[in-house]
Chain A
C-alpha cells in the first residue's frame, strides 16, 4: 500500500498540533476578537511559567519518572523572592538564591530517587509537602513587589513593543529561549539521548554503559531548576509572591506533557510537544472565558477528556509498534 505516511513517532505530536489549530479555529469562528494577535500573545504571557515548568516535567517523564514538587517550588521561590525584596534585599540576589535552592532541591530529590531506589512519585510527593510548608514559613500571606528597580527594568526595558497593547514580554522571550535550549539538549546531546535510553529501558541502558544514576540526578536537577525559574517568572508576572499559589500546578504540567505527545512511561516524546500541550490547555481556558456563560469548570472536564484521549492514542501506537516489530 503506497500512500503518504506520518512516521509513527510523529503521530501524537501531529495530533496535538491539529487539536490546537482546531480549538483556535473554533474560537475564531465563535467569537469576535478571538483572532486578534493579542489572544495568541496572551497565551504565552499567561502560560510562560507553566511552559517552563512543563519543560522540566517533560524531561523527567522521558526518563520514566515524575515530579510532583513543581507547583510547590514555584510558590516557594516566588514568595521567597517577594519576601527578600520586601526586606530590602537586592532583587538579582534574591532571584539567584531562588534558582540555587531550586537546583539543590531537584538534585537532592534525584539523589534520593537514584541512591535509595525510591519511587519518584513518593520522593517528589514528600518534596511537594516539604517545600510548600517552607513557603508558609517564609510568609503566610501574599507579599507584593513594589517599585523594585530590577523588576521595573525587566518590565519596562526588556519588553519589545509590537504595537498597541501588544507587548512581547521578557518572560515570553525567556520561555522561548529555555524551550529551544531544552529541545537542542534533549535531541542533540549525549546526555539528552541518555534520558531517552533510560526511559525506554533502564536495564538495557545500564548494560549499554549509560551513566543511569548521573543522568537521572541531572534530570531532576534540571527539573528543580525549571520549577525555580518558573517561580521567578511567576514573581515577575504577578509582581508578588503567595505561598498559596500554584497548588496542583504539577498536574497541569503533566497534562500538558501528555497532551504534548509524551508517553507517561518514558522514552517516547518530544520536549517540543510540551509547548503545544501548554498552548492547548491555555486555549481551552481562553475559549471558556470568552464564552463567559459556560461553567468555568468545563475547562477541567475537557482537559480530562483530552488527556484520556491522548493516553488511548499512545496505548494504540505502542501496541502497533510492538506488533510490527514482531512481524519483522
Chain B
C-alpha cells in the first residue's frame, strides 16, 4: 500500500503549497499593518500606465498616512470586485473604496455595506444606483472642467483670438464628450476663437499624427494657430507631424492637451508644446484625506473633483474661475524628473 501513501502525500503536498503561499506572504509585508483606519480598496486592474500610477499612489499614500489598507485587484472582472467588496464587509473594514469596473450591478453589495454601516467612497469612476445614499462620496477627475481649463488657457494666452484645430478623443467616450463640451463652453464667449478643424484621433499617438498630417495638407493649414488635443498621446503624435511638415511645434502652432504624462512634460520643457491640463491618477493622498474625515464623522461633499494642476511654459496664468483660481505651473527640469508616469 505504499502507493496509497504516495497519493495521500501528494494531496498533503498540495495542501502545504496553499499554506506555504499564504504564509510566506503574510510575513513579507508586515509594515503596512498600522494602527490606523482599516480601508478596503478594490482597483479595476492594471490595464494602463495611468491605472498603475493610480494604484501606486494609493499604496504609497496608505503607507504614509498609516492606513491599514486591504488592496484587491479585480483583474478587470466585476465578479471579482463584488466578491472583494463583500469580503471587505465581512472583514469589518472602516471604509470601503473602489474604482468600479462598470457602472451597473453594484447596488446589492452597496446596500449590504450600508446595512453594515460601512461608508463607501467611489474612486475615479461613478456607478449607477437607483437610490441615493449608497455611497458617501465620489472622488475623480472632472473632464468638463479639464476642457474648460484648456479653453481658458487658450483665451488668456492668445488674447481671445485664435484659429483652433481640435484632436478629439475616442468618439462617444466620456472624456472626449466632456472635454469638448468644456472647451466650447469657454470659447463661445470669445467670438474670435474658432475651431476650424475637428476630427477624432482615438486617443492614440499614431492616429493623432495621421489626423494632424491631414490637417496640415488641408487648405486651411496655414491658418491653424492652436492645436487642442484631448490627450497627450495625440498631441505627441501631432508634434511629430508638425515637425515633419517643416513647422515648429510650440511656436508656429501653439499646442495644448490634457493628461500630464511625463513625455508631454518633456516636450513642453523642450519648447515643442505649450500646456497640458493634468488628469491626475495620483489621487491616493486625497482619497485618504477624505477617508480620515469620514472616519472622524465629518461631512464630505458627494462629489469631490481630483486635485489637478495645469502645467505650461509660461506659468502664473489663471485657468480656474475668479472664485476658485487655478494658476498654471511653469515646467522645469525638476518637475519633469519628478514625474512618475
Could you tell me which A residues sit within 8 Å of B by CB distance?
Answer: 1, 3, 5, 11, 15, 18-19, 22-23, 26, 30-33, 36, 38-39, 42, 45-46, 142-144, 146-147, 155, 165, 237-240, 242, 244-247, 282, 284-298, 301-302, 305-306, 309-310, 312-313, 316-317, 320
Could you tell me which B residues sit within 8 Å of A by CB distance?
Answer: 1, 3-4, 6-7, 10-11, 13-15, 17-19, 21-23, 25-26, 28-29, 32, 40, 69-75, 77-80, 82-84, 86-92, 102-105, 107-108, 112, 115-116, 128, 130
Check if B7 sits within 8 Å of A1, measured CB to CB: no
Query: Within 8 Å CB of A146, what residues of B?
Result: 130
| Nearest CB in chain A to that of B103: its residue | A142
Of B14, B82, B88, chain A has the most CB atoms within 10 Å of the CB of B14
Query: Within 8 Å CB of B86, what residues of A?
Result: 42, 45-46
Taking the nearest CB of chain B, how far is it from the CB of A154, in angstroms? 11
**Bound-complex Cα distance A240 to B104 (A):** 6
- Which single member of B3, B21, B91, B108 contacts A302 (CB below 8 Å)? B21
Quick one: given A245-B78, A291-B22, A302-B21, are A312 and B32 in contact (CB under 8 Å)? no
Check if B103 sits within 8 Å of A26, measured CB to CB: no
**Bound-complex Cα distance A289 to B71 (A):** 7
**Bound-complex Cα distance A301 to B17 (A):** 11
| Nearest CB in chain A to that of B90: its residue | A38
Quick one: given A246-B79, A293-B28, are A39 and B7 in contact (CB under 8 Å)? no
Check if B104 sits within 8 Å of A293, measured CB to CB: no
Check if B104 sits within 8 Å of A292, measured CB to CB: no
**Bound-complex Cα distance A39 to B87 (A):** 7
- Which single member of B6, B21, B72, B90 contacts A292 (CB below 8 Å)? B72
- Which single member of A38, A246, A292, A313 contacts B10 (CB below 8 Å)? A313
Check if B72 sits within 8 Å of A144, measured CB to CB: no
**Bound-complex Cα distance A280 to B103 (A):** 29
Taking the nearest CB of chain A, how far is it from the CB of B36, in angstroms? 14
Quick one: given A1-B1, A292-B40, A309-B14, are A165 and B115 in contact (CB under 8 Å)? yes
Taking the nearest CB of chain B, how far is it from the CB of A150, in angstroms? 15
Listed by A's residue number, 28 A-B pairs whose Cβ atoms lie within 8 Å are: A18-B15, A19-B15, A22-B19, A26-B19, A36-B90, A38-B89, A46-B86, A144-B105, A144-B128, A155-B108, A239-B108, A240-B102, A242-B102, A242-B104, A286-B83, A289-B87, A290-B87, A293-B28, A294-B22, A294-B25, A298-B21, A305-B14, A309-B10, A309-B11, A313-B7, A313-B14, A316-B7, A320-B4
- Which single member of A33, A144, A155, A246 contacts B91 (CB below 8 Å)? A33
| Nearest CB in chain B to that of A285: its residue | B83
Quick one: given A146-B130, A242-B104, A245-B79, are A289 and B11 in contact (CB under 8 Å)? no
Taking the nearest CB of chain A, how far is it from the CB of B78, in angstroms? 6
Check if A143 sits within 8 Å of B25, measured CB to CB: no
Check if B25 sits within 8 Å of A142, measured CB to CB: no
Check if B80 sits within 8 Å of A26, measured CB to CB: no
Query: Within 8 Å CB of B26, what residues of A?
Result: 30, 291
**Bound-complex Cα distance A17 to B3 (A):** 20
Check if A46 sits within 8 Å of B83, measured CB to CB: yes
Query: Within 8 Å CB of B104, what residues of A?
Result: 142-144, 238-240, 242
Taking the nearest CB of chain B, how far is it from the CB of A313, in angstroms? 5
**Bound-complex Cα distance A81 to B79 (A):** 18
Quick one: given A30-B26, A38-B90, A289-B87, are A144 and B7 in contact (CB under 8 Å)? no
Taking the nearest CB of chain B, how far is it from the CB of A143, in angstroms? 7
Taking the nearest CB of chain A, how far is it from the CB of B7, in angstroms? 6
| Nearest CB in chain B to that of A324: its residue | B3
Quick one: given A42-B86, A238-B78, A302-B18, are A320 and B3 in contact (CB under 8 Å)? yes
Check if A42 sits within 8 Å of B87, measured CB to CB: yes
Query: Within 8 Å CB of B108, what residues of A?
Result: 155, 237-239
- Which single member of B10, B82, B130 contacts A46 (CB below 8 Å)? B82
Query: Within 8 Å CB of B105, what residues of A?
Result: 142, 144, 238-240, 242
**Bound-complex Cα distance A302 to B3 (A):** 25
Check if A165 sits within 8 Å of B73, measured CB to CB: no
| Nearest CB in chain B to that of A45: its residue | B86
**Bound-complex Cα distance A38 to B109 (A):** 14
Query: Within 8 Å CB of B7, what residues of A?
Result: 11, 15, 313, 316-317, 320
Check if A239 sits within 8 Å of B107, measured CB to CB: yes
**Bound-complex Cα distance A310 to B11 (A):** 8
The 4 closest A-B pairs by CB, nearest first: A292-B70, A240-B105, A238-B105, A309-B14
Taking A302-B21, A316-B7 as given, write out 20 further A-B residue pairs in contact, using a Cβ cutoff of 8 Å, ordered by the A residue number: A5-B4, A11-B4, A19-B15, A22-B19, A33-B90, A33-B91, A39-B90, A42-B87, A42-B90, A46-B79, A46-B86, A165-B89, A238-B78, A238-B108, A245-B79, A295-B73, A306-B14, A306-B18, A313-B11, A313-B14
**Bound-complex Cα distance A316 to B11 (A):** 12
Check if A293 sits within 8 Å of B71, measured CB to CB: yes
**Bound-complex Cα distance A287 to B19 (A):** 11
Check if B107 sits within 8 Å of A302, measured CB to CB: no
**Bound-complex Cα distance A291 to B40 (A):** 10
Taking the nearest CB of chain B, how far is it from the CB of A239, in angstroms? 6
Taking the nearest CB of chain B, how far is it from the CB of A282, in angstroms? 8
Query: Within 8 Å CB of B80, what residues of A?
Result: 285, 296
| Nearest CB in chain B to that of A235: its residue | B105
- Which single member of A15, A46, A294 contacts B14 (CB below 8 Å)? A15
Taking the nearest CB of chain A, how far is it from the CB of B9, in angstroms? 10
| Nearest CB in chain A to that of B78: its residue | A245
| Nearest CB in chain A to that of B25: its residue | A294
Query: Within 8 Å CB of A155, what residues of B?
Result: 108
